[in-house]
């Protein structure tokens, strides 16, 4: 019997999605002579039964491309799908998962491979609980998925942020300014921490370590006393002041991730400018961190994850997620992978290394 597998990409895009798709398709053809179908625009395509057959011809030349040839969406949860509004204007939702399952069955799909982050993998696990054979592939630039040492897209993102710091360093020094760079990461500080260290930041603010603005002010004044009238500050979008809360930019009610963080960089910059007398500027990198070609590390990691996902799809067991552990690609239960957010350890080695070289983490001077 010919194996028939489907794949979709859900949630925010990340460099390396196409490389995973390529790894799945090539393994299917070379190792199993299997058929692979790609559902368009994430779970929305699964609900609406929009798909294409994937093969060597339409997955050739995509290894280096950012984004996803299948399209993606973070607003279309089949278990909570928007269904209009009531008389008061409140958004209504319905469970259309059975429709999605019927589409899989009519196409003869035996296993569904879901490439996504926390939200998409939660949905994948819900499908598994309804009897669908599912394999997850961990994708998020935030690196906040439990069970894998690193998610793909993270390495590319921190290289993008590092390059921004390299460029901002010269203009900050020339104009004697405080340069605040706000980066993504949601409720985890991995991007800010790694890119801040790599980019030579003087202050790094992450959600796991609530900051005291007075400590940052002292750090900047110390640099001025040393003749350094500029500072570089990496701020994770989820960073918050002690006794404060995260800064929320918007709330998207029909999204799988409804809370949109953003704006903390402006808050920090305004307070520092007023306290130090130095001019402050804010750079919000936003979706620049999601775009562009994946790094060599991410291209290799995604290829390996795609290969493992296809092998697992054929050979089982299912309801599993591919993961990087040490130097090996393994699988772990999806339930374990989505059990909690993977956060930075405030007392971990990398934070201690940052402190050892004089970086201010916002909580002490």
The interaxial angle of helices 213-225 and 264-276, nearest 10 deg, is 50
Distance, in Å, from the CA atom of 136 to the CA atom of 106, rounded to the nearest integer, reads 22
DSSP-derived 3-state class of residue 58: helix
CB atoms inside a 10 Å sphere around CB 3: 17
The one catalytic residue among 142, 144, 202, 319: 142
DSSP E strand boundaries for the chain: 4-9, 35-39, 51-54, 81-85, 91-94, 111-116, 134-138, 177-183, 203-205, 231-236, 248-251, 259-261, 279-284, 320-325, 328-333
142 tagged catalytic: yes
Q: What is the DSSP string of 279-304?
A: EEEEEE-GGGGT-SPPPHHHHHHHHH
Distance, in Å, from the CA atom of 192 to the CA atom of 189, rounded to the nearest integer, reads 5
Q: Is 277 exposed, middle or buried (0-12, 13-18, 19+ CB in 10 A)?
A: exposed
Q: Which residues are catalytic?
A: 142
């Amino acid at each position: 019997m010919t194996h028939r597998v489907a794949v979709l990409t859900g949630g925010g895009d990340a460099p390396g999605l196409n490389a995973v798709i390529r790894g799945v398709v090539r393994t299917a053809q070379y190792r199993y002579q299997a058929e692979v179908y790609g559902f368009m625009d994430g779970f929305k395509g699964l609900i609406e039964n929009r798909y294409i057959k994937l093969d060597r011809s339409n997955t050739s030349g995509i290894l280096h491309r950012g984004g996803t040839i299948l399209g993606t969406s973070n607003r279309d949860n089949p278990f909570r799908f928007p269904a209009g509004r009531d008389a008061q204007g409140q958004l209504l939702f319905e469970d259309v998962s059975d429709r999605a399952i019927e589409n899989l069955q009519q196409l003869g799909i035996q296993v569904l491979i879901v490439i996504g982050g926390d939200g998409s993998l939660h949905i994948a696990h819900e499908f598994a609980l309804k009897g669908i054979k599912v394999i997850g592939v961990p994708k998020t630039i935030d690196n906040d998925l439990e069970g894998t040492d690193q998610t793909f897209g993270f390495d590319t993102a921190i290289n993008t942020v590092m390059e921004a710091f390299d460029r901002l360093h010269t203009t900050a020094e020339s104009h004697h300014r405080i340069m605040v760079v706000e980066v993504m990461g949601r409720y985890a500080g991995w991007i800010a921490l790694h890119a801040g260290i790599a980019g030579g930041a003087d202050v790094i603010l992450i959600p796991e370590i609530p900051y005291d603005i007075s400590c940052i002010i002292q750090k900047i004044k110390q640099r001025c006393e040393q003749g350094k009238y500029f500072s570089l500050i990496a701020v994770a979008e989820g960073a918050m002041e002690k006794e404060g809360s995260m800064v929320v930019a918007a709330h998207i009610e029909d999204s799988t991730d409804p809370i949109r963080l953003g704006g903390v960089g402006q808050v920090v910059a305004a307070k520092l400018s007023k306290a130090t007398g130095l001019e402050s500027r804010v750079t919000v990198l936003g979706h620049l961190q999601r775009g562009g070609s994946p790094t060599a590390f991410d291209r290799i990691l995604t290829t390996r994850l795609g290969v493992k996902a296809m092998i697992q799809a054929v050979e089982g067991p299912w309801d599993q997620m591919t993961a990087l552990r040490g130097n090996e690609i393994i699988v772990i239960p999806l339930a374990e992978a989505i059990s909690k957010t993977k956060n930075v350890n405030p007392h971990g080695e990398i934070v201690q290394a940052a402190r050892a070289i004089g970086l201010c983490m916002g909580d002490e001077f």
